[in-house]
Structure 1
Amino acid sequence: MAVNMKEVALKANVSTATVSHVINETRYVAEETKQKVFQAMKELNYRPNPVARNLRSRKSNIIGLIIPVQSDDTSNFFFMSIAHGIGSVLKRYGYQLIVSNTNEELNMEREQITMFNDQFIDGLIMAPTSQSHEFLHQELNGDYPVVFIDRKPEGYDKGDFILSDGKKGTYEAIKLLLSKGHKKIAFITGPLGISTSDERLEGYKQALLEQGMKVDDTLIKEAVPTLENGYNLTKELLSSSEISAVLTANNVMTMGVVKCLQDHKKVIPTDVAVIGFDDYEWAKITTPSLTMIKQPSFELGVKAAEAILRRIENPDADFIEMRLQTEIIQRDSC
């Protein structure tokens, strides 16, 4: 029975896409990996089909996008805006975008990467989940270029990074609250361990420390980003502390904060000032309207698409890290 490409991939412990790229010279593949593939082909006496080789040597003009959206998290608006920005650029250059969601689960993310490895995509853009990503050293082995958006994967740095400067945005928001005389400022965040959450917490602490204020860990609350958790964490703060302001580093949790304050007859901003993250339309029509830290989500997508196209054309260029600036949209809540 004739040996197929999948058997070569298993023998060499690489993906079928890697075998294809070695045979067709359609992507850069590390020399060590090439030799593993050639050795497997030799041992299995594999001979590439010239017709199939001709078909596979063509570019697919497909870019994959992996996002970590959960069903009850309004971050889907954020990532869909990013996807729209990516698509607006790719369309001009004849590329198609395939979007896949991990639901913020590492195992699902690994499954999606494996799926894309078998799709002969030309590049991958992804917002990684939390936890260690050292496995990417094996999963992403040079078959195609990768651009990371919004977040940085723990334990992996072989890619371009297009991020928003959430640390600076949070820092400036806390300074704004301090300038208005607030002393007890609470910080509510989604799970730490994700680079965006960690950086926003750093911005919070830096602003306080620069003013000679002690960081009170009892005012820092962390939970999975849901409206209910935002509500419950605010309730905890109201029962244990005389807070005068809350900065919420997650959009859906901001809704819970506002609901809790209203239910407990706290007047915003007279009793408690509020600043949230991501400026969606609903923030303009609440009572009062909400001051928000706006991220340039569409522009993040545009820059990510430009980065992946540059990387396809010039795979040996130095990796870049680009941070786009956030903006405080001041309204009536602080």
Structure 2
Amino acid sequence: MSTNIKEVAKEAGVSVATVSHVINQTRYVSDETKLKVLKAMKQLGYRPNLVARSLRSQRSKIVGLIIPVCPSDTSGFFFTTIAQGIENKLKEHGYNLLFSNSNENIECEKEQIRVFNSQLVDGLIIAPTVDDHQYLNEVISGDYPVVFIDRKPVGYKSDCVLVDNFSITYKAINTLIEKGHSRIAFISGHMGLTTSDERYFAYKKALEDNNITVDESLIVIAEYGKTSFESGYEFTKKLFTSQKFSALFVANNLMSMGALAFLNEQRVKIPEELAVIGFDDYDWTKISVPPLSVIKQPAFDMGRKAAEVLIDRINNPTKRFKEYRMSAEFIIRGSI
């Protein structure tokens, strides 16, 4: 396991900045403090990147990106679009982008961050995995700023660029209620993500604000790692065969596909027999019969915003951290 500059600082009993000054010889540090730092580096086996050290006073104009995409998950398109937005903005400022995929695996994410720690990057943009992210305080080195996108980590403070999932989901559920629906089923990917959690809470809040009792039997949540086409299909089948409801909200694109596959097999008339709303506006949603009403996320604009925030952070490292919320769009088609 590689050691980072924060661990050296902790072992030596000094600040990260002091360790950096010793390594880079950028400011006077007393001989006593230097010895403490050098001793800590030796004990921990810390070896600074010599190329990075020699060039740190200059900027590499390289930014890292880590996305969490599983092989069977259509969110790959979502995050690829985000990456395109990031690259589009970075190019305006002369930056290049390097990106990798954590496969929604926390250990893979940690390893990739360690790799970026050893590279000459000016900053990192990351869509974190679902787990508690206090570990980032130890794994991410203090040499570059980090911006989080789409998901807000727990236990680590930094700039975040997120979708206003709560407001747009609330609007969609409220629209169903205005159309006379009170038995609204809800299918979601696993909890523990900013995205899933906010959509779930918005669903419940919209019902409560309209004096509709939240029926837990109409809510189906996937287990971690079980967000898939198949789970969307099976969850819809389970609801369809055991509950009575007039509307269905699926808070995940892949599960929306599975839900519609089951409903089409059963020849359910949409929206006459069941109103349906899905998440993300991919091409397939426009050609389904009838075209699916969806919540469209501003993926490209999110990417541009994250890059803009990171560049600003690189240039102004002492600014207070901020959370940026992007508005999504509720597109009404023939399914409601």
- TM-score of the pair, normalised by structure 2: 0.87
Between the aligned partners of 1:153 and 1:164, the Cα distance in structure 2 is 14
Aligned to 2:322: 320
Between the aligned partners of 1:51 and 1:104, the Cα distance in structure 2 is 31
- Is the aligned partner of 1:245 residue 2:241? no
Aligned to 1:148: 148
Between the aligned partners of 1:7 and 1:83, the Cα distance in structure 2 is 29
Q: Per-residue CA shift, 1:28-68, capped at 9, x if unaligned?
A: xxx9xxx987623267799x999985445332211111111
Between the aligned partners of 2:218 and 2:41, the Cα distance in structure 1 is 63
Residues 138-287 of structure 1 mapped to structure 2, 5 A cutoff: 138-156=138-156, 158-223=157-222, 224-287=226-289
**SS in structure 2 at match of 1:144:** coil
Aligned to 2:13: none
Contact 2:122–2:145 (Cα < 8 Å) also in 1 = yes
Q: Quote the offset at 1:183 in angstroms.
A: 1.4
Segments of structure 2 that go 5 or more residues without pairing to the other structure are 11-15
Between the aligned partners of 2:65 and 2:285, the Cα distance in structure 1 is 28
Contact 2:188–2:252 (Cα < 8 Å) also in 1 = yes
**SS in structure 1 at match of 2:278:** strand
Between the aligned partners of 1:268 and 1:51, the Cα distance in structure 2 is 61
Segments of structure 1 that go 5 or more residues without pairing to the other structure are 1-5
- TM-score of the pair, normalised by structure 1: 0.88
Contact 2:237–2:262 (Cα < 8 Å) also in 1 = yes
Cα 1:128–1:88 change in 2 (3 A) is same
Cα 1:51–1:254 change in 2 (3 A) is closer
Contact 1:21–1:143 (Cα < 8 Å) also in 2 = no
- Is the aligned partner of 1:289 residue 2:285? no
Cα 1:52–1:324 change in 2 (3 A) is closer
Between the aligned partners of 1:315 and 1:184, the Cα distance in structure 2 is 50
Q: Per-residue CA shift, 1:104-134, capped at 9, x if unaligned?
A: 1111111111111111211010111111111
Contact 1:164–1:323 (Cα < 8 Å) also in 2 = yes
Aligned length: 319
Q: Quote the offset at 1:23 in angstroms.
A: 2.8
Contact 2:7–2:138 (Cα < 8 Å) also in 1 = no
Q: Per-residue CA shift, 1:178-218, capped at 9, x if unaligned?
A: 11111111111110011110000011001000011111111
Aligned to 2:92: 92
Amino acid at match of 2:213: K
Between the aligned partners of 1:256 and 1:245, the Cα distance in structure 2 is 16
Contact 1:63–1:122 (Cα < 8 Å) also in 2 = yes
RMSD after superposition: 2.9
Amino acid at match of 2:69: V
Cα 1:36–1:329 change in 2 (3 A) is farther
Cα 1:139–1:258 change in 2 (3 A) is same
